[in-house]
Structure 1
Amino acid sequence: MLARPNPAGAPTVKQRLLLTRWDFWTFVTFCVYIFMLAFIVYPLVSLFFNSFVSKDGGFTLQNYLNFFKVKYYHQALLNSFLVSSLATVLAILIGTPLAYIATRYDIKFKGLMRLMVIMSLLSPPFIGAYSWILLMGNNGFITKFIRELGIQIPSIYGWHGIVIVFALQFYPHIFLYVSGALKTIDTSLEEASESLGMTAWRRLRTVTLPLIFPTLSAGALMVFMASFADFGTPMLLGQGYKVLPILAYEQFVSEMGGNPAMASTLSVIMIFFSTIILFSQRYFVSRKNYSMTGMRTPVVKKLKPMPKVLLTVLVFIPASISILPQLTVLVTSFLAKSGPVFHRGFSLDSYKEIFFRVPKAILNTYSYSVLSIIIMVIAGMLIAYLLVRRKNKLTAFIDGIVMIPYIMPGTVLGISLIIAFNKPPIVLTGTWVILVIAYVVRKIPYTIRSSTAVLHQLDRSVEEASVSLGVPPMKTFFKTTGRLMAPGVMSGAILSWITTINELSSTLVLYYGATATISVTIYSEVFTSNYGTGAALASILTLTTLVSLLIANKLSGSRGLSL
């Protein structure tokens, strides 16, 4: 076959594809590096060097020596490990059996149960803590009711309350991870062990659980990291029980002038131990081979009426307890009140008060989040394209850097940004811009991961055809590739949106009066005992989360968040 003659001066398809390496995508790579260096690397380097600064401005190791010498400091690290470890174990004990029953048996109302579990995960942890204060605080509804029966029970305050709230908040990580693994496990291995006479319990312990260990450990890692980094729950429930995020925050914003160097030291230590935990999990998973053929996926077992009812009730117990905080907040927001005191009956007083007193916080939350999500969607899709279609050493470095904030506590991110941008030439402290930057840096990994997953499924030939017709690379991406990616990307983008509107820890460090958001205002209302207005604001966040979750489920369809 004769080759079609090439018009004089017109580049071939191969030449066009080579040229794309040096035009639009080169510019994108350059911009991504500028962004990473400015808002991830530079703040982290500033934070690290600031941890070695003495009170007179010189170099010192005293901050680190003080951490290990002074019990007040290193005890906070031990406290963080204690509550995070216990919460992780409890979450595994709740989430694993729940996932097993939900995936292996035909229980009733499975979709509703999954919705309840996911809702409990996507609501902010501090709202759960606040709700449990209303229920089981010193004068909580449940506490008073049980005391009237003559039974004395401890309140939710203290380290045990923190562990319980963490476990109920984060066990959905275990549930979702383990559910996905159990749906794809190769049942031939279980059937072979059954034919050898293994009991059901031994088969579960020696075959099923080892096969899903990588997924289970990934879920456990998520629970541990979320608990280790959380600020709101220990702050509301701790009553003097210090963990590292609280200690770093207090050192940074102390009324006595603060100690930024010690706050930086605590932040560096948090990042160090978070990284150690992450790599430890990867090391243990990599030691063994967990691969399966996946040829025979499990069949959902049909149950007789009585066992079906019993298992349905069993799975709805933890799901109902974990969704209780959202229901409590909703009911409390409609209680009649006079000032901070509740009365019998219902009213809209709390909602009237928030729209009269703190409308700016509501406007700030949605405007900052909308702007952040627009940036995250566009940047996330572009970065995903670089990671999938433009693989090289430069893009591999991008993949590692953009995921660093994923393991950083929000408090640490906030402190690092203030240290980096609190002095010329660029001063961002006290502006809304620094909040948007923090949200984008911390939440964009969700969008990047959903974008890369979609892009792996798209055939490269569509883009090549567009380029061969003379369409520039930038136009090809936005008119062709971007449109094909959009439905799958949006589910990850909505997850970024939900976590952004609920963000507390980084916001609490970075905001000032005029840039307060709903989450910060709820935190302030709870500390001043204005539970009605706090509940009304929390209900707005809960309703937004629910609507966003339903939209994400609709957009993702069979690919993503299945309810």
Structure 2
Amino acid sequence: MKRNHPGLIAIAIAIALFLFIFLIGPILTVVYTAFTDGQGGFTLTHFLAFAEISLMRESFANSLFVAGTTVLCATVIAIPLAYLTMRFQFRGAVLIQTLGVLPLVMPAFVGAAAMQLIFGRSGAVNLILMDNFGISLPVMEGLSGIIFVETLHYFPFILLNLSASLATIDSSMEEAGQNLGASGWRLFRKVIFPLALPGYIAGASLVFIKVFDDLGTPLVLNVTNMLAPQAYLRVTSIGIEDPIGYVICVILVLFSVAAMAGSWWFVKRRDYALVSRGGAQAPKRKLTSWQTALAYGWIIGVLMLVLSPHLGILLMSLFKVWSFSVLPEQFTLVHYATIFTDAKQMIWNTILYCGLAAFVDIIIGGAIAYIVIRTTIPGRQILDHLVTVALAMPGLVLGIGYLRAFRGIELPFGAGAFTASWVIFVVAYSVRRLPYALRSCMAALTQVHPALEEAAENIGAGRWRTIRKIVIPLMMGGLLAGFVTSFITAAAEISETILLTSRESLAPMSYGIYLYFQSIAGRGPGAALSVVAISIVALGTYITHRLAAAATPHQNVGNRT
């Protein structure tokens, strides 16, 4: 039942215009500025100027080094964790998987501040090592500090994707390898990992993109000789007309797109599909005593590192003094009193901006999902492709593109300039987070059988009434999942936020956290505001799960119509 209702065609055109104006338009503006001279003619002068600046060459090399090294380090953590929890029997596997994804709840730049106090030159770990062994570990110095923080923050992308791939491998493949004499490391290297490679490549490409484009972590750690910080500094210090900043943005876009396209090409060039007798998952094997000890030792060590930023932030928010000491001193709640006095507007702004952006996302995502899956409108797949572009676009690039493309644009009814209003946050957040909501909506709609809609129309319900009474209620779980995913990721956004914030009264919490962490005196309030942000995200997740369970439809089609 795929019909092209005129109203759906109009909606498809409206969505396409929205994406072209607020996604493709700003990106093209950035690219156009990088390749044109003052008179609008094509030129490569700006790229040549970029190549002639030693700081730019150094920043480019550093960004590639940090992103590549982080992928390697994240791989070292994620592969054993995924393999152990998915292939062996031991207690706490589900808890380990859950704790393993906790870093994604907290922005990387927030964890960076806590990691300085724990692993920095005068942090708790190095103070213990100096007192007992006379040594220190320079893990938080320069680029190594960024790699350390980013590894602990982004390795869950590999863990989640690799675990999903391992879960789909048919047991007969492993049995065949074992029958041919492979076992242990050889079995993993020759059979298991090659079959799970699509999941690993997907996760590794996401880690590379996130790290290569990250702005907040380098700024918090005071490392500016990387591409993203240089683009930010050029635009904010020299001005929006500086061409080098746009050249950097083009490089960020090219490498982000190349990482996604490269992962797709690598997976597509080989056939990973399984033709099996039943698709049964491989049974989990038992570990010997010494293997269990090694496994638990590795997992506990990893989880201690993973949870250390969360613990550090909590301690920073509850204690007055933490400097040159193993543990903080002088318990206090004054930091929370400070933020609820000085930053309460930022808290409200975050809930408003992210809530509206998530609501926009599920409306547009649900509409695109319905148009792509339930209609035959020509070119409908273009909407899906346009949304996917947002997934590869760095927030920094979109932020600069918005400032350039929409300067001078006034909102109606005398609301002022678009780039100086709160509306720009909602638009920017919704565009960047739309891919997450769309995937949830499409997954939910594929589980709604078209026969249910046909039955409703056969008993007299029109197209819009069927959508309202049948489709939307049955998709509610996916809609709510898309809402909370968009909300959570928008609340942690920093690259766009620090560029688009024109005054503090409009700033969301992520900008306030960044400002607080710029000084030692502000670390306590910054940590308290981080705890509030994490709590809002956790509460939103819990409420969404409860609503999704309550929204499970029980009525039949006739009752709904």
Work out whether 1:547 is the aligned partner of 2:531: no
Aligned residue number for residue 530 of structure 2: 538
- Deviation of 1:421 after TM superposition, in Å, equals 0.6
**Contiguous gaps of at least 5 residues in structure 1:** 1-13, 558-563
3-state SS of 2:281 partner: coil
Matches within 5 A, 1:91-170: 91-149=74-132, 150-154=134-138, 156-170=140-154
Cα separation, 1, equivalents of 2:428 and 2:170: 42
Work out whether 1:327 is the aligned partner of 2:311: yes
Question: 2:111 is aligned with what amino acid?
Answer: G
Instruction: Give percent identity, aligned residues only.
Output: 30
Aligned residue number for residue 258 of structure 2: 276
Cα separation, 1, equivalents of 2:39 and 2:347: 42
TM-score w.r.t. length of structure 2: 0.90
- Find the partner of 2:274 among 292, 311, 336: 292
- Deviation of 1:283 after TM superposition, in Å, equals 1.3
Matches within 5 A, 1:102-501: 102-149=85-132, 150-154=134-138, 156-240=140-224, 242-254=225-237, 256-257=238-239, 259-293=241-275, 295-303=279-287, 307-308=291-292, 310-336=294-320, 344-424=329-409, 427-501=417-491
3-state SS of 1:451 partner: helix
3-state SS of 1:527 partner: coil
- Further displaced range: 258-267 or 376-385: 258-267
- Cα deviation digits, residues 157-210 of structure 1 (max 9, x gap): 311111111111111111111111111101212111211222321111111111
8 Å Cα contact 1:117-1:172 kept in structure 2: yes
Inter-CA distance 338–211: structure 2 relative to 1 (3 Å threshold):
closer
Cα separation, 2, equivalents of 1:78 and 1:304: 45
Inter-CA distance 81–208: structure 2 relative to 1 (3 Å threshold):
same
Aligned residue number for residue 46 of structure 2: 63
Question: 2:349 is aligned with what amino acid?
Answer: N
**Contiguous gaps of at least 5 residues in structure 2:** 412-416, 550-561
- Deviation of 1:83 after TM superposition, in Å, equals 0.5
3-state SS of 2:101 partner: helix
Cα separation, 2, equivalents of 1:64 and 1:268: 10
Matches within 5 A, 1:498-537: 498-513=488-503, 514-529=505-520, 530-537=522-529
8 Å Cα contact 1:334-1:347 kept in structure 2: yes
Cα separation, 2, equivalents of 1:469 and 1:231: 56
8 Å Cα contact 2:315-2:328 kept in structure 1: no
RMSD of the alignment, in Å?
Answer: 2.4
Cα separation, 2, equivalents of 1:331 and 1:385: 47
Question: 1:456 is aligned with what amino acid?
Answer: T
Inter-CA distance 72–135: structure 2 relative to 1 (3 Å threshold):
same
Aligned residue number for residue 4 of structure 1: none
- Deviation of 1:551 after TM superposition, in Å, equals 4.7
- Find the partner of 2:25 among 18, 25, 42: 42
Cα separation, 1, equivalents of 2:187 and 2:355: 49
8 Å Cα contact 1:248-1:264 kept in structure 2: yes
Question: 1:205 is aligned with what amino acid?
Answer: R
Inter-CA distance 103–162: structure 2 relative to 1 (3 Å threshold):
same
Question: 2:338 is aligned with what amino acid?
Answer: E
Cα separation, 1, equivalents of 2:129 and 2:548: 44
Inter-CA distance 552–214: structure 2 relative to 1 (3 Å threshold):
farther
8 Å Cα contact 2:409-2:418 kept in structure 1: no
- Deviation of 1:258 after TM superposition, in Å, equals 5.3
3-state SS of 1:422 partner: coil
Cα separation, 1, equivalents of 2:50 and 2:463: 53
3-state SS of 2:309 partner: helix
Aligned residue number for residue 557 of structure 2: none
- Deviation of 1:403 after TM superposition, in Å, equals 1.3
- Deviation of 1:221 after TM superposition, in Å, equals 0.8
Inter-CA distance 125–425: structure 2 relative to 1 (3 Å threshold):
same
3-state SS of 2:94 partner: helix
Inter-CA distance 343–327: structure 2 relative to 1 (3 Å threshold):
closer
8 Å Cα contact 1:136-1:143 kept in structure 2: yes
- Further displaced range: 509-518 or 431-440: 509-518
- Deviation of 1:552 after TM superposition, in Å, equals 5.4
Question: 2:439 is aligned with what amino acid?
Answer: R
Inter-CA distance 276–447: structure 2 relative to 1 (3 Å threshold):
same
- Further displaced range: 72-81 or 48-57: 48-57
Cα separation, 1, equivalents of 2:159 and 2:545: 17
Cα separation, 1, equivalents of 2:337 and 2:38: 48
Inter-CA distance 198–374: structure 2 relative to 1 (3 Å threshold):
same
Aligned residue number for residue 7 of structure 1: none
8 Å Cα contact 1:522-1:538 kept in structure 2: yes
Cα separation, 1, equivalents of 2:154 and 2:437: 21
- Cα deviation digits, residues 2-32 of structure 1 (max 9, x gap): xxxxxxxxxxxx8xx74xx242211211210
TM-score w.r.t. length of structure 1: 0.90
- Deviation of 1:535 after TM superposition, in Å, equals 0.5
- Deviation of 1:338 after TM superposition, in Å, equals 11
Inter-CA distance 338–239: structure 2 relative to 1 (3 Å threshold):
closer
Inter-CA distance 22–258: structure 2 relative to 1 (3 Å threshold):
closer
8 Å Cα contact 2:354-2:491 kept in structure 1: yes
- Deviation of 1:290 after TM superposition, in Å, equals 0.9
